Structure 1
């Protein structure tokens, strides 16, 4: 039996799909303060929460919905859930005392307690499910208004821990977490995102390829155990040498490490601007036999810029237009520093431009 082609795959064969911009950058333009993210629910939290942007999905849902709306109206075909750090491991940074401040250390025993903490697990689930529902609502609303399908990508970020490196220079074999612990929190996140109604799962901003492998194993576990499959998107963050920044895996090596999951797309995002990303994207476009995505930062950080990054909407449109002219991309957008105005400029610049050609035999077919 041949499974029907997923609608997102069909879209990628017709056009360069537009993915949204930077949630964190756009949140900052709303001028939110510590009291705004806390609300009544988290008013007694012992740590500052303002940098916990995922939490806004619970305390300021109207703002998050407005951001999704703006990106969709700017031309985004795909919007991401506000779940970059929505795992119990990442949320523990904001709700659990750091043992290092009291002479202890973070280690697998510490993180096992984090994983078994019912309140953290419940919070992570709620953030993922609610963020997915918020995205779903706006994607469906704009799709109905425009007659053009819009898709929701469940974002699984890189975590605040590394499986590849030791934080202890005197003990290079030490790891703060185990592969199975990372796998478990990603499985929980995957299930919550699916419960919220996402169309695809996006393992993104990969600094540590072993963390990403754990996420991909977790996703496959969930698919097999729960009997539901979705397309998988993969996007890595690379340094100036084209390597993942913690595990130092080259672009080609990363692709070879993940291609067995038959992803819908593989690509690069964040970390460096579009000019620096170009040669590594070019290499990936040659090697990969699936759709290729690119959503780079708006240049390098610049604290004097309104967005915190150098490049204006017209600059991003020009660079992404070059990617399209060179036949490198199937999905385009922006990461840090990219507002709805940036995405609107990118969408306008890429309108009518042909997507990178994907070999027919690599087309992803997913059962509903």
Structure 2
């Protein structure tokens, strides 16, 4: 895929630490929206609750989503993510399609093939991805013009609500609810829409199932070949206490070995268990990988008593990510769950004059 030397973001990564934005879901909650706000007029008759479908806000509350993008950009983000973490037909079906398990059935490849073939689900997924990318594009360009500093739109591609690696049936370990080709098809649809909306790069993130991520990466490759164009690809995994991807249980090194053939712009870790527990695994990845390294951890561990739902405040995250930079581990830094624009502003200030992880001559060559 596209190498670092082919994109202007690469030269930034060689010279300073780039900042990626924070948690869309956490920030949405600060606006106090309810189920009626989510539904709007368009989805007022939906049969299932929609409030947890944050991607849908790009259609029903675009002013709020654009305001969040603006705030992250003004906080110092160089890269903002589209509001599309669950914007595939497969993930959206959780909110719009009747669950066969409620009537004694089960979700299986036959069920998901109907989802893949459903024009209404495909159309909805396309619209969410394209509109969200357009919203990001508009604000990235506005702030870039106002500040004289280029900003980048990352098309966010999340991990799905189904797993290709594990069976949900303890009595049938070979059973999978969905096939590789179905997952690939859903991801390809998302990728096309993210590109159509104006994304600068694609971010396969919060990977806890490496096989799902493989399907996303194959889909990206196929879309690139089909359109005869390429964008840089960022890859980011979520790991557990032992440094393993949460479902497929690959170690950090094994994960890198599984994706390095893609030649991504960057590889890194996000979400997970906060910066403290992430540190040793990020250190390992930084030693093994020969591309830029990203880190955008959760704001510590979940804490329902805190304002954001997580332990660490802006100053805490700035200190932790500053230690990542002091150790020479990162080229891209930001925050995942629990990180608001205030967190990103603190991180950006803390890292402003810190050197990025050194990249090889091959990676930064013009």
* Shared fold per TM-score greater than 0.5: yes
> Superposition pairs for residues 271-350 of structure 1, below 5 Å?
271-350=272-351
Match runs of 1:212-227 below 5 Å: 212-227=213-228
Maintained 8 Å contact 1:290/1:363: no
Distance 1:189 1:63 in 2: 22
Q: What TM-score, normalized to structure 1?
A: 0.98
Q: Find the aligned partners of 1:5 and 1:210 in 2 and give their Cα distance.
A: 28
Please state if 1:199 is matched with 2:177: no
Structure 2 residue 127 is the aligned partner of structure 1 residue 122: no
Distance 2:262 2:242 in 1: 26
For 2:177 and 2:194, the matched residues in 1 are separated by 26
Report the Cα offset of residue 360 of structure 1: 1.7
1:244 Cα deviation after fit: 0.3
Partner of 2:8: 7
Q: CA deviation at 1:13?
A: 1.0
Question: Corresponding residue for 2:171?
Answer: 170
Alignment of 1:115-194 (within 5 A): 115-194=116-195
Partner SS state of residue 119, structure 1: helix
- Structure 1 position 11, deviation (Å): 1.1
Distance 1:358 1:48 in 2: 47
Q: 1:63 matched to which residue of 2?
A: 64
- 1:82 aligns with 83
Q: Distance in 2 between matches of 1:243 and 1:232?
A: 22
Aligned to 1:50: 51
Q: CA deviation at 1:5?
A: 3.0
Q: Secondary structure at the match of 1:218?
A: helix
SS of the residue 1:337 aligns to = coil
Counterparts in 2 of 1:214-253, with a 5 A limit? 214-253=215-254
4+ aligned runs moved over 2 Å, structure 1: 2-5, 362-365
**Deviation digits for residues 233-276 of structure 1 (CA, Å, limit 9, x no counterpart):** 00000001000000000110000000001000000000210000
| TM-fit CA distance, 1:4 | 6.6
TM-superposed CA distance for 1:3, in Å, is: 10
Calculate the aligned-residue CA RMSD, in Å. 1.2
Q: Does the residue aligned with 1:130 lie in a helix, a strand or coil? A: helix
SS at match of 1:204: strand
Equivalent-residue separation in structure 2 for 1:270 and 1:276 (angstroms): 11
Could you tell me how far apart the structure 1 residues matched to 2:182 and 2:253 are? Answer: 27
The alignment covers a number of residue pairs equal to: 364
Instruction: With the length of structure 2 as denominator, give the TM-score of the two structures.
Output: 0.98
- Is the 8 Å Cα contact of residues 4 and 265 (structure 2) preserved in structure 1? no
Give the whole-Å Cα distance in 2 for the aligned partners of 1:59 and 1:360: 46
Summarize deviations over 1:298-349 as a string: whole Å, max 9, x none: 0000000010000000000000000000000000000000000000000000
Is the alpha carbon distance of 1:364 and 1:167 closer, same or farther for their aligned partners in structure 2, counting shifts above 3 Å? farther
Give me the whole-angstrom Cα distance separating, in 2, the residues matched to 1:283 and 1:363.
Answer: 22
TM-superposed deviation, 1:363: 4.3
- Give runs of aligned pairs for residues 17-28 of structure 1, distance below 5 A: 17-28=18-29
Q: What is the deviation of 1:364? A: 8.5
User: What is the alpha-carbon distance in structure 2 between the residues aligned to residue 275 and residue 200 of structure 1?
Assistant: 29
**What residue ranges of structure 1 are gaps of 5+ in the alignment?**
none
